[in-house]
Structure formats: C-alpha cells, structure tokens
Amino acid sequence: MALEWTNDPAQRLEASGQSLEYACWGPAPHKAPTLVMLHEGLGSVAQWKGLPEALAKATGFGVLAYSRAGYGASDPAVLPRPLDYMTREAEDVLGQVLDAAGIQHCVLLGHSDGATIATIYAGSVSDMRVRGLVLIAPHFFTEPQGLAAIRAAGEAYAKGDLKEKLARYHTHVDVAFNGWHDAWTHPDFVEWNVADAIDHLRIPVLAIQGRDDPYGTLAQISEIEDRIYSPVETLILDDCGHAPHLEKPAPTQAAIEEFCARLDRLEREEVSLA
C-alpha cells in the first residue's frame, strides 16, 4: 500500500529496514509525474527550504522529499559509512522508497551526494519509472579542492558553529556529519570514481553547477557531456557556489521547470507507427 501523500513531518516510510522521514507536495503519483528529491551529504527534507512546494506549484508535478538514514529525523545510520555508501544507497534503498511512495513516472532531482545517487540508480538499475534526471552540483570522482573543502568543514564542525547550525536539522547530528566527512576524508576515498554510471544513462539530463563551487569543478559537468549517450542540458551559474537552488533560486528553478515541462510534453506526445 502506498504511503500517505502529505507534507505532515510526522509521517514516515520504510525502506531497507529503516524508518525515514518524508514529505510530499502537489498531486499524488497516480495523478501526475513526481519529482523525487535527493538531498546533499549534509542535507535533509527541511533543508530544501521552499523549493519542493515551489516546484510542485510551477510544474504541476507531485514532489517527494525524504531524508536518508542518518539525516534529519530519520533513523540513524551505522558508522563508519562504507566508502561505497552512495552506490549502496542507490542500489539498496532508493528503489524501495519509490515503491513505498507508489511512484509511477518520475524525475530524480539530486543535489551533491543526492545527484550522484540519482545517477548511479539511473545508470545501474533498470527502472522505467525514471524518465529524467536533474543533477545539481553532482560529483563522480574526487578532486583536490573538494577534499580540501571537506577537511575545512571538519575544522568548522569541531571548532566553529557548524555543528550548532546542523543540529537544527538533524536529530543525530554527529552521525550526519561524521558519516559524510569521515568517508570523504578516508585515505582510500581519493580513488573513488563512479563516472562509469554516466555511460549507461538513456534518459534526458539537466546538470546545474555553480562556477565557484568549492566542492567540485566544472570537470564534473564535462564528465557528463563527454560520456553521456542521451540528451543533456547544462546550466552554469556565475557567482554561485555549491547550492544553486539556494544561491541562485530564480534561474535554477526556471531551468528545472522548463526541463520538466519538456519531458511532460514528450511523454504526452502520440507517436504514430504508420
């Protein structure tokens, strides 16, 4: 039985043996396509701010956001996270979330780690429900500047006010931060690379990146353009860092809305076989 389609923060879904918080906006999956939002490595449902509701109103799609285990008010994750935690999330959890929500046709919209998870899922799992990807600040391999930024975040968490800020959003704040930070700063993680998932994508992609993103350069976007076999659109934003949807909301939302509208028109077109 599909979960209750509501933005009541008390609601939970079950996936891979974990209880996860979720919220929904707009029409239910049997009435319209769904945008499924996958948050960043330190994100949660609440940290999307007003974007889910705005996208539901602008696109006519339903929107589902959930917090992965270890984040928000979801169950805690077991630490240390394995270095392939994004692949495990894609292959072991995401499909069960889509099943629990009764998703029929969807676009996966991911930010940072969430964009990586979305790409791995679409590139490795045969799921015809997934019709497109919106990838905000994705990463497919490590870069020296990104690893340096994560180490700096570790200092801010230990000595600054980052822990206090994150504790507003995460019940298990040390689990949320350390699970992310300790995986990325592990000596073996420098070799992490999941770019081969791009080779297997056969659905349209919108990739959005801030030119000043401290966690990833435009090389991540070039990797998509160089490897993908399906249509890809890119939006590169000047004077923008790691969170285009928060730093440059107007152009980011407009690009997402236009992408979804085009996908919807294509889905509705009648194809003549004569």
- What pLDDT score does 270 carry? 54
Q: Give the β-pairing of 62-66 and 18-25.
A: antiparallel
- What pLDDT score does 14 carry? 95
- What residue numbers bound the domain in which 209 lies? 12-268
The domain that holds 175 is classified in CATH as: 3.40.50.1820
- What pLDDT score does 272 carry? 46
- What pLDDT score does 201 carry? 98
DSSP 89: I
Query: Is 201 part of a structural domain of the chain?
Result: yes
DSSP E strands in the chain: the ranges are 12-15, 18-25, 34-38, 62-66, 106-111, 130-136, 205-210, 232-237
Q: Give the β-pairing of 106-111 and 62-66.
A: unpaired
Q: How many domains does the chain have?
A: 1
Q: What is the per-residue pLDDT across 97-151, written as a single tens digit (0 to 9) for each?
A: 999 999 999 999 999 999 999 999 999 999 999 999 999 999 999 999 999 999 9
- What pLDDT score does 274 carry? 46
Query: Is 273 part of a structural domain of the chain?
Result: no
Report residues of the chain scoring pLDDT below 70: 1, 270-274
Query: Is 241 part of a structural domain of the chain?
Result: yes
Query: Is 1 part of a structural domain of the chain?
Result: no
Query: Is 88 part of a structural domain of the chain?
Result: yes
The whole model's pTM is what? Answer: 0.96
Query: Is 3 part of a structural domain of the chain?
Result: no
Nearest by Cα to 243 from 83, 90, 41, 106:
41
